[in-house]
Chain A
Amino acid sequence: DADVTQTPRNRITKTGKRIMLECSQTKGHDRMYWYRQDPGLGLRLIYYSFDVKDINKGEISDGYSVSRQAQAKFSLSLESAIPNQTALYFCATSLGLEAFFGQGTRLTVV
């Protein structure tokens, strides 16, 4: 089983819908992250959390929110999805700097 599991792996949703992407990890790491990947832009940080009571905005947090339900769970929500949020989304965990990634969620907003 994967150490960092993302669900769903693929999702197509309509503009204006609320959608939640989930991430769970079995690595026992305190730090969790959500990144977005777009072609030619690399991975950009949306939100990160260093423990259950700690939530921090990354460089592109507008239009997104997160919830750290437990040490092992970190979910990303799009309150009202728009087409330019179509992207590949990755969850990651770390003890220090070295991050371990999930397999990604491909989200398409139509």
Chain B
Amino acid sequence: GQQLNQSPQSMFIQEGEDVSMNCTSSSIFNTWLWYKQDPGEGPVLLIALYKAGELTSNGRLTAQFGITRKDSFLNISASIPSDVGIYFCAGPTGGGNKLTFGTGTQLKVEL
């Protein structure tokens, strides 16, 4: 089946630093979704990308398609402690009828 690989698998950063993570697919996606999972909770949608070539922002978060559209990037500026969690990318598979999720990037923020 479709595989979405995220890197890094985990990262440990200082508060205030900028963060960048990416997600790669074996095929082209026309839509990318980025979710965040807080400890003990279900994933929550952060950003939805529907148009290649455009940056999409949500507060300190920015996401975009990669050049090949087989990848996507999520950036977090000026990280704060509440950014801690697992970040998942997701893309449409099965003819666009369902979501396949990436393996996740775990973010830990040091005060």
Contacts and interface: CB of A to CB of B under 8 A. Distances in A.
Q: Do A and B bind each other?
A: yes
Contacts, number: 52
B92 A104 contact: no
A98 B42 contact: no
B44 A58 contact: no
A50 B42 contact: no
Contacts of B90: 99
Interface residues of B, number: 25
Contacts of A50: 97
Interface SS, A side: strand
B92 A97 contact: yes
Contacts of A99: 45, 90, 99
Interface residues of A, number: 23
B88 A98 contact: no
B43 A101 contact: yes
Interface in B61-111: 88, 90, 92, 96-104
B59 interface: no
Contact of A97 (B1, B6, B9, B33): B33
A74 interface: no
Nearest to A104: B42
A33 B101 CA distance: 13
B101 A42 contact: yes
A27 to B, nearest CB: 13
B42 A45 contact: no
B41 A103 contact: yes
B42 to A, nearest CB: 3
Interface of B: 1, 4, 6, 9, 31, 33, 40-45, 48, 88, 90, 92, 96-104
Closest 8 CB pairs of A and B: A101-B42, A43-B101, A42-B103, A42-B101, A59-B1, A101-B43, A42-B104, A103-B42
16 contacts: A33-B99, A42-B102, A42-B104, A43-B43, A43-B101, A45-B98, A45-B100, A58-B98, A90-B43, A97-B31, A98-B48, A99-B45, A99-B90, A103-B40, A103-B41, A104-B40
